[in-house]
Amino acid sequence: MTRKSWFRYFQYDERKETPADARNVLLIVAGLIAAVTFQAGINPPGGVWQDDKDGHRPGRAIYSYQTKEFYVFLISNTVAFSTSILLLISLTHKFPFHFEVILATTSMVVTYASSVFAVTPDELVKFRYILFAAAAPFIIRCLLQVWARLTMEEQPYDKHIVFPDNRSGENELNRL
């Protein structure tokens, strides 16, 4: 099996698989990404200082002393975490117990944020960058949906989200 045929074998095929199958796979992947990034956020690489020798504070990330690298880690991890949260919320919309999913997810986001703020030295990180990184996936998704509605063109990446009742968008326009 060649590399190209191997890749095509595992690609999503609308003729063979249902949207429910794709949603289930995305839920699993998003859940795994959320779990991994959450763990990395509350226990950063290298761990945290356990003592106050040599001028460092207990509970602060050891990795934070490598400023640029820590910024890259923190921003990338936060973007991955918030993107997976966006997927989890979007894919469970209209599910039974959706409110409970939202409540649990919100609590997890607050826990992640408080942990990141706890292990990051205040003087080191500009928290506005972390907040922007957390909000970026939500902002980008909203902008893509607004753009799709304004252009009224079906976007392949938005066809199941922007116009769930009708791909042409007629029902969506009538509700506005």
In a domain, 87, yes or no: yes
Confidence of residue 43 (pLDDT cuts 50, 70, 90): very high
Q: Over the chain, what is the mean pLDDT?
A: 83
Query: Does 170 have pLDDT greater than 80?
Result: no
In a domain, 8, yes or no: no
The dihedral built from the CA positions of residue 110, 116, 121 and 124, taken in this order, carries a sign that is negative
In a domain, 5, yes or no: no
Structure token pair of residue 5 = 């045929």
Query: Does 123 have pLDDT greater than 90?
Result: no
Query: Which whole number is the average pLDDT over 83-108?
Result: 93
Query: Does 4 have pLDDT greater than 80?
Result: no
For the beta carbon of residue 92, count every other beta carbon within 10 angstroms.
18
Query: Which whole number is the average pLDDT over 71-93?
Result: 94
In a domain, 1, yes or no: no
In a domain, 2, yes or no: no
In a domain, 168, yes or no: yes
CA distance 45 to 107: 23
Confidence of residue 172 (pLDDT cuts 50, 70, 90): very low
Identify the residue with better confidence: 123 or 105: 105
pLDDT of 124 reads: 57
Structural domain harbouring 25: 17-46+56-175
In a domain, 159, yes or no: yes
**For 126-140, how does the pLDDT look when each residue is reduced to its tens digit (9 = 90+)?**
778 888 999 999 999
How many domains does the chain fold into?
Answer: 1
In a domain, 3, yes or no: no
